[in-house]
Amino acid sequence: MQDLVGPALGTLALVAVGGYLLGSIPFGVVITRAAGAGDVRSIGSGNIGATNVLRTGRKDLALATLVLDAGKGAVALLIARQLFGSEAAGAIAGGAAFLGHLFPVWLGFKGGKGVATFFGLMIAACWPLGLMAGATWLLVAFTLRFSSLAALIAAAATPALALLPLPVAGLPAPQPVFVLAVVTAILIYIRHHENIGRLLKGAEPRIGARKT
């Protein structure tokens, strides 16, 4: 219970602001422009995430975007948790970084869909939970070849997995981690509303397909 209170509200507000600013760095846009691949927002779905970067035909840029988008959420959470010794502070910083990726101030609050950042957060918050979430994504993605469907299933499964005894730890994830998993999963579904519509219509592009 003490961890849920954690640092003072003013400190938590600063943690949230710092996490948001870190999360709002649009690595997909920065990397594709620096590599001469143009503006990723002008191709495919217009999304700034790794899946759309892959539609440039540059797997290396997609991989770099994936790692950096995942890393910014993880770094925000780990720094806050280390500084304040609080799972709640880490969850707030990580959640703010997730919001920063979805709604970056630098791009008029039009950002990504948060999948890579979600997995980075989960691995940093509770690595057995993050690995199980990632394994769920991989299983669906490589079986059905739909990145969005894999993300939706993994996001929905993660809060449930957080309530179960976890490998190695043998305990459920800490309560702030469970709350973070629930909130980010809800936001992922909201941000994927167009994908859900296309999946229902059979019009969703598969992984690796170019979309003009």
**pLDDT tens-digit series, residues 140-193:** 999 999 989 999 999 999 999 999 998 876 789 999 999 999 999 999 999 999
- Asked if pLDDT for residue 32 goes beyond 80, the answer is yes
pTM: 0.90
Helix (H, G, I), strand (E, B) or coil at 44: coil
Name the nearest CA neighbour of 182 among 103, 102, 118: 118
- Asked if pLDDT for residue 200 goes beyond 80, the answer is yes
Tell me the CA distances in angstroms from 122 to 40, 94, 166, one per residue in order: 26, 9, 13
Q: Which of 20-29, 108-117, 167-176 has the lowest mean pLDDT?
A: 167-176
Task: Report residue 40 as tokens.
Answer: 């990723």
Q: What is the DSSP string of 182-212?
A: HHHHHHHHHHTHHHHHHHHHT-PPPTT----
Q: How far apart are CA 121 and CA 7, in angstroms?
A: 20
Neighbours of 20 (CB within 10 A): 21
- Average confidence score pLDDT of the chain: 91
Neighbours of 43 (CB within 10 A): 19
What is the band of 4 on the pLDDT scale with cuts at 50, 70, 90?
very low
What is the band of 212 on the pLDDT scale with cuts at 50, 70, 90?
very low
- Asked if pLDDT for residue 43 goes beyond 90, the answer is no
- Asked if pLDDT for residue 72 goes beyond 50, the answer is yes
Residues 75-92, mean pLDDT to the nearest whole number? 95
Task: Report residue 164 as tokens.
Answer: 């179960």
Q: What is the pLDDT of residue 45?
A: 80
Question: Are the C-beta atoms of 85 and 2 separated by less than 8 Å?
Answer: no
Q: What is the pLDDT of residue 137?
A: 95
